């Protein structure tokens, strides 16, 4: 099953990065391929706040909407995204934010996916890895836009 993992150090706090990733409604403003995102409902999952959302991704003639549940664990500084419905047979995405002693934080991003359609997988599968690499950069740029770029010491 295809997957992508990256760890990045950013000059923003773990709380700031958690809030940025948790603000899914803003994704269409800055996230590559994200054409639209709509929260369907908010709920509680294992005593944690969660939301169910539809995300529409678009690339050239490809346009698909899928549903996922986003569970927000602020105390553990983790966000889990679980696939519910759409063109995938599997999709799971995990974020972890760890404060660094020197300031800023370490952001871990992991995503694992598999498309239902072999044809669709051949058409867009290779694009996905490039896009996920750009996701990490997009979140960093967004953090700089929202929180400002800290001055170098």
- The enclosing domain of 82 has a CATH number of 3.30.530.20
Query: Does any domain span residue 152?
Result: no
Residue 51 domain-assigned? yes
Query: Is 98 contained in some domain?
Result: yes
What count of other Cβ atoms lies within 10 Å of the Cβ of residue 139?
22
Owning domain of residue 121: 3-147
Counting the structural domains of the chain, the total is 1
User: What's the whole-number mean pLDDT along residues 134-144?
Assistant: 91
Q: How confident is the model at residue 153 (pLDDT cuts 50, 70, 90)?
A: very low
Mean pLDDT of the chain: 89
Report pLDDT for 65: 93
pTM of the model: 0.89
In the structure, what pLDDT confidence band is assigned to residue 15 with cuts at 50, 70 and 90?
very high
CB atoms within 10 A of CB 66: 16
Mean pLDDT comparison of 26-30, 84-88, 147-151, highest-scoring range: 26-30
Q: Which residues contact 53 (CB under 8 A, 6 or more apart)?
A: 24, 37, 38, 39, 40, 67, 68, 70
């Amino acid at each position: 099953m295809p997957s992508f993992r990256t760890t990045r150090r950013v000059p923003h706090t773990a709380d700031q990065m958690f809030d940025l990733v948790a603000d899914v409604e803003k994704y269409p403003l800055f996230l590559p391929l994200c054409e639209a995102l709509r929260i369907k409902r908010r709920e509680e999952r294992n005593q944690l706040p969660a939301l169910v959302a539809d995300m529409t991704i678009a690339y050239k003639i490809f346009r698909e909407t899928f549903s996922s549940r986003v569970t927000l664990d602020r105390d553990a500084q983790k966000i889990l995204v679980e696939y519910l419905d759409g063109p995938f047979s599997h999709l799971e995405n995990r974020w972890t934010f760890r404060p660094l002693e020197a300031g800023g934080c370490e952001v871990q991003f992991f995503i694992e996916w598999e498309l239902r359609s072999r044809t669709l997988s051949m058409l867009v599968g290779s694009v996905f890895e490039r896009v996920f690499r750009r996701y990490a950069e997009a979140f960093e740029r967004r953090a700089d836009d929202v929180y400002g770029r800290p001055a170098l010491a």
